[in-house]
Amino acid sequence: MDISQDELRRDLDAAVQTRKELGREYESEIVDSFLARIDSRLDARVEQRVAERLDRSGGGPSGARGRGSRMGLSIVSLVMGIPLTAIASESAGATGLVVCWIGIVGVNLASALGDRRREREPSRGARSEWT
C-alpha cells in the first residue's frame, strides 16, 4: 500500500463532504474514521519499509529473532545468576559457586554455538550447483 497524495486528498474530500451532509454532531466520528484510515496506511507503509530493510540486510525475521533471543538469554542469565550464586555459595561454598557459573556459561555458550551453526547452514530449499 502506498500513501499517495491523490488517495489522501480523495479521502479527505470524502470526509469533508460527509461532514457537510451529516452535520457537526458526527464531526468527531468522521475525523476519527479518517485518522484510522491514515493510521492503517501508515502502519502498512512502515511494515513494508521494515521488510525491505530486513531483506537488504539479509537479516530476515529469523536472524533478527535469533539476535533478540540471544540477548534475552544473556540478560536472564545475569539476572538469575545473582540469586543462584547466593544459593549455590551458601549451600556448597566455593565449589557450588563455580559449578553454578559453569552451568550459566555453558547454557549461554551452547545457545551461541547453536545459533552460529544455524546461521552457517544453507537454507533447506537451496540447492548447490553440484546436485
Taking CA atoms, 63 is separated from 41, 113, 119, in Å, by 27, 14, 8
Contact 97, 88 (CB under 8 A): yes
Residues 6+ apart with CB under 8 A from 102: none
Q: What does the longest C-alpha to C-alpha distance in the chain come to?
A: 81
Domain boundaries, the chain: 1-58, 60-121
pTM over 0.95: no
- pLDDT tens by residue, the chain, 131 residues: 455 778 888 888 888 898 899 888 888 888 888 888 888 888 888 888 888 887 776 655 445 455 667 778 888 888 888 888 888 889 898 999 999 999 999 988 888 888 777 777 665 544 544 44
Q: Which three cell numbers stand for residue 49?
A: 519499509
Radius of gyration of the chain (CA): 27
Torsion angle, CA of 106/114/83/86, rounded to 10 degrees?
0
Taking CA atoms, 77 is separated from 16, 36, 93, 112, 113, in Å, by 57, 42, 20, 13, 16
Q: Specify the length of the chain in residues.
A: 131
Residues 6+ apart with CB under 8 A from 23: none
